[in-house]
A and B are shown apart, each in its own frame.
Chain A
Amino acid sequence: MKLLRWLGSAVFVLAALAAAQAVQTAEPTLNDARRPFPVVGQVGEDVHARTFTARVQQVRCAAALKIGEHVLDTQGVWIVAKLRVGARSEPTSIAYAAARDAADRVFQTTDRVSLDLVTGGLTMQPGLPYEGEIAIEVPTAAAGGLILLLADNSIDQRLDSMTEIPLPISDGSACSPEPTTLLAARAVS
């Protein structure tokens, strides 16, 4: 009887340890638990993140960018999005802009050309919005089904809101072969 009670206790302890291990395994990782809060919107509508508002006005794709006299080609395609952005209640920058594809790969805005609107250090004041275009270089096969991600912190986007706006490009192979120009950031009324 004493042996049975001892065995029962041991089984109980082992079961408790196994249950704890199962709970720990099932828990999200730290990065997953602290992932950004998605704010989902559509092209053409204002999407309100915690510190800024963004609206994707137009989207196109092309085989090359024309910056002044220079043509920037790519092995993939350029995704160009025209944005209208503004600070909500305090001076704000949109320092992070990227596109996520269907395979969860994330492509950040290009550093081959200065993008003043995002990542370029533009600080917006509340009620004084800006318009401009951003460019992201992606593999041709990834161009369909991209989601535009915008956040105000370039280094750490965790535990803060991040806009997620699906881009209406279905086929990267149908992008324009002609170089396209980028609209510079400008204040709008």
Chain B
Amino acid sequence: MRGPDSLGRGWWRRNVWGLVAVVPTLALMLAAAGYSDLEFWQRGKPQVVRPAADGVAEFAGLRMRVAELAPATDLKRGGDRPFVVPDNMTAWRVVLDVEGPTDLGPDEVVYCDISIEDTAGNRYGDQPRELSSARTPLGNCNPENSPVPAGSGRYQTVAHFVTPRGVEIAAVRVFFGGVDQTRYVRFDR
């Protein structure tokens, strides 16, 4: 700290603007550090892609719509024996009509992950342990698992879920993690 300069200004007067600038600079530094954390957090929350007015959503090179969302009361075990869902649960079936390119090779199939969401915001995954004894197809958007012939690029994918009895389903979510981890398709009921 030197003494007054030729204009008679002391250290504090000479550096007043620098000192004033320290406050917004610190604020900017903290904001920049926080922004990267905020962006990381937002990336963990995929954005919603909604279907058009006709109920069809286009995503990951596929066109899809929900053909069925209903309790599954006709599940079967091996040997075609009926599968009885425990009293405290409801089994659900989601059927998606899917339309994709007709000339896909086996390595070009786009896989999806379907889940359902109830009115309280709880999310349920397919292939639950509770239905492991039932014969259910893999609902992963692969045409090979379609219950109807996958002709002309049109096929179905079917997924099954369990929820506690009495739960109302609000939406079907379709996630294509291998294509885009930042968005998912949401069909509100």
Query: Which residues of chain A are near B115, meaning CB under 8 Å?
Result: 91
Tell me whether A127 and B86 are in contact (CB under 8 A).
no
Could you tell me the distance between the alpha carbons of A126 and B120 in the complex, rounded to whole angstroms?
Answer: 11
Q: Given A89-B122, A91-B124, A189-B87, are A127 and B129 neighbors across the interface (CB < 8 Å)?
A: no
- Shortest A147–chain B CB gap in Å is 29
Contacting residue for A127 out of B121, B125, B161, B167, CB 8 A? B167
Query: Which residues of chain A are near B86, meaning CB under 8 Å?
Result: 187, 189
0/1 interface trace, chain B 99-122, chain A, CB 8 Å (1 if under): 000000000000000010000011
Could you tell me the distance between the alpha carbons of A91 and B87 in the complex, rounded to whole angstroms?
Answer: 20
Query: Which residues of chain A are near B163, meaning CB under 8 Å?
Result: 125-128
Could you tell me the distance between the alpha carbons of A187 and B178 in the complex, rounded to whole angstroms?
Answer: 32
Could you tell me the distance between the alpha carbons of A134 and B53 in the complex, rounded to whole angstroms?
Answer: 51
B89 at the interface (CB under 8 A from A): yes
Tell me the number of A-to-B contacts counted with CB atoms below 8 Å. 44
B128 at the interface (CB under 8 A from A): yes
Tell me whether A189 and B88 are in contact (CB under 8 A).
yes
B168 at the interface (CB under 8 A from A): no
Q: Given A189-B86, A189-B87, are A128 and B122 neighbors across the interface (CB < 8 Å)?
A: no
Could you tell me the distance between the alpha carbons of A128 and B130 in the complex, rounded to whole angstroms?
Answer: 9
Q: Given A125-B128, A128-B130, are A89 and B164 neighbors across the interface (CB < 8 Å)?
A: no
- Shortest A185–chain B CB gap in Å is 9
Residues 37-92 (chain A) with a chain B CB within 8 angstroms: 89-91
- Counting contact residues on chain A (CB < 8 A from B), the size range is 10 to 19
Tell me whether A91 and B125 are in contact (CB under 8 A).
yes
Tell me whether A125 and B124 are in contact (CB under 8 A).
yes
A169 at the interface (CB under 8 A from B): no
B interface vs A, CB < 8 Å? 86-89, 115, 121-125, 128-130, 161-164, 167
Q: Which 8 residue pairs spanning A and B have beta carbons closest together?
A: A127-B164, A91-B125, A189-B88, A126-B122, A90-B123, A89-B122, A125-B124, A125-B128
List 17 extra interface pairs beyond A125-B130, A126-B163, CB under 8 A.
A89-B121, A89-B123, A90-B125, A91-B124, A91-B125, A123-B125, A125-B124, A125-B128, A125-B162, A125-B163, A126-B123, A127-B122, A128-B163, A187-B86, A187-B129, A189-B87, A189-B88
